[in-house]
């Protein structure tokens, strides 16, 4: 049965800016974390940030230990870090790195029943603020959403660290964020459940809309800043859109077809070299076909996506000459029971999805061709 109550959930505190890591100690104290804490970090941020951690946590009198991430968010890795956290009697787990590190650190915090703190070093997806992890099988095929009891206690985003990350990751985050408003809008229109199994609040839906506004106004300038590894107001706006607004927007606003098409695409090994937000971008074009959106809507997202280099065709997500069988397989996975595509305001079959994928691909190719010719 659908929950009639409207629900909104968020991290307890969100902090963003140049050099934010310098403030980690006082920010932990601000949310009542006194330590000891365990930092789970991937290797690169460990090299860049470990001296800053010693200074800021030292000043706040917070004891800490560090574990280097093994590279995979696997049950073994979760068990290993959980054991380390238990031995050190920690009161919080601080994940520092990309999506997999943060997912692992939140799973560990959940297992230990302690506070989760996320310090994303890339703005590549909307996961850091949410209370759920996306689990993949070892071969990168989508497995399931794992839900936690609460959102992180603190999300701290150091913009100077994000500016130094590869631009492709920021662009992928823009792809994930680009779908947020359109999926939330669908959930609102169909009165479906958000990702918290409640009705979306006006607030959740409005945050998704603000996310889209910021993308329209800042995406290309932010990509230029990222290419130069510099922090500008446009980059700050896109970090906020990709991380905070898309995070709150998808969770409290809800998901629809675009993310299900993404999940369908992950069944194909050829899409594995492509990032989450890149596949979501093509998923959004497919959602637009399904929803029979206006030419104006199509033009708006196609121009935004292609301006920053996001995929709008099958070939751009690794499927150069897909067979009808492959597309059908993707479509079947897209409409699996429990998928968010069933939040669309009409019934969707695998045949509907397969046809929409072919049509989306043709629209995307035509768009790219018309751009080329106009240059």
Residues labelled as active-site residues = 176, 259, 262, 276
How far is the C-alpha of 235 from the C-alpha of 238, rounded, in Å?
5
CA angle 325, 255, 319 (to 5 degrees): 30
Of all residues in the shown chain, the one whose CB is closest to Zn ion is: 176
The least CB distance from residue 291 to Zn ion, in Å, is 18
Distances (CA, A) of 278 to 203, 258, 272, 312, 357: 27, 11, 11, 9, 15
Residue 70 tokens, joined: 């093994």
The least CB distance from residue 26 to Zn ion, in Å, is 31
The least CB distance from residue 280 to Zn ion, in Å, is 5
Binding mask 220-249 for Zn ion (x = CB under 5 A): ------------------------------
For Zn ion, give the closer residue by CB, 25 or 204. 204
For Zn ion, give the closer residue by CB, 82 or 243. 243
The least CB distance from residue 125 to Zn ion, in Å, is 6
Task: Give the binding-site size for Zn ion (rule: CB under 5 A).
Answer: 1
| Contact set for Zn ion, span 45-104 (CB under 5 A) | none
For Zn ion, give the closer residue by CB, 103 or 176. 176
From the list 192, 363, 218, 367, the residue with the least C-alpha distance to 287 is: 363
Task: Give the residue carrying structure tokens 């068990």.
Answer: 79
**Interface with Zn ion, residue 251, by CB under 5 A:** no
How far is the C-alpha of 359 from the C-alpha of 375, rounded, in Å?
25
CA torsion sign, 71 to 73 to 15 to 310? positive
For Zn ion, give the closer residue by CB, 23 or 276. 276
For Zn ion, give the closer residue by CB, 176 or 291. 176
Binding mask 158-197 for Zn ion (x = CB under 5 A): ------------------x---------------------
The least CB distance from residue 145 to Zn ion, in Å, is 10
Torsion from C-alpha of 229, 232, 237, 240, nearest 10 degrees: 50
Residue 35: helix, strand or coil by DSSP? coil
From the list 67, 61, 68, the residue with the least C-alpha distance to 28 is: 61
* Chain contacts with Zn ion (rule: CB under 5 A): 176
């Amino acid at each position: 049965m659908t929950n009639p109550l409207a629900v909104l959930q968020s991290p307890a505190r969100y902090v963003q800016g140049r050099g934010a890591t310098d403030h980690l100690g006082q920010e932990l104290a601000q949310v009542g974390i006194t330590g000891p804490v365990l930092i789970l970090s991937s290797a690169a941020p460990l090299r860049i940030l470990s001296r800053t951690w010693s200074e800021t946590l030292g000043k706040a009198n917070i004891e800490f230990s560090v574990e280097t991430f093994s590279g995979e968010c696997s049950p073994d890795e979760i068990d290993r870090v959980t054991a380390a956290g238990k031995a050190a009697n920690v009161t919080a787990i601080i994940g520092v790195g990309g999506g997999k590190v943060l997912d692992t650190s939140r799973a560990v915090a959940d297992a230990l029943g302690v506070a989760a703190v996320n310090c994303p070093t890339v703005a590549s997806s909307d996961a850091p603020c949410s209370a759920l992890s996306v689990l993949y099988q070892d071969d990168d095929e989508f497995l399931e959403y794992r839900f936690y009891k609460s959102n992180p206690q603190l999300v701290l985003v150091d913009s100077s660290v994000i500016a130094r990350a590869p631009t492709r990751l920021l662009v992928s985050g823009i792809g994930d964020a680009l779908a947020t408003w359109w999926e939330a809008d669908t959930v609102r229109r169909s009165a479906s459940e958000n990702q918290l199994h409640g009705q979306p609040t006006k607030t959740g839906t409005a945050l998704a809309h603000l996310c889209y506004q910021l993308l329209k106004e800042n995406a290309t300038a932010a990509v230029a800043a990222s290419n130069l590894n510099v922090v500008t107001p446009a980059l700050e706006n896109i970090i906020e859109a990709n991380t905070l607004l898309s995070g709150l927007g998808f969770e409290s606003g809800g998901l629809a077809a675009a993310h299900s098409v993404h999940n369908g695409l992950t069944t194909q090994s050829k899409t594995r070299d492509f990032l989450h937000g890149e596949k979501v971008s093509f998923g959004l074009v497919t959602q637009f076909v399904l929803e029979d959106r206006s030419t104006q809507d199509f033009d708006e997202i196609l121009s935004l996506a292609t301006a920053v280099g996001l995929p709008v065709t099958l070939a751009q997500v690794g499927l150069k000459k897909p067979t009808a069988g492959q597309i059908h397989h993707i479509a079947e996975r897209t409409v699996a029971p429990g998928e968010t595509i069933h939040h669309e305001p009409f019934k969707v079959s695998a045949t509907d999805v397969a046809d929409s994928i072919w049509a989306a691909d043709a629209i995307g190719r035509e768009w790219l061709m018309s751009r080329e010719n106009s240059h």
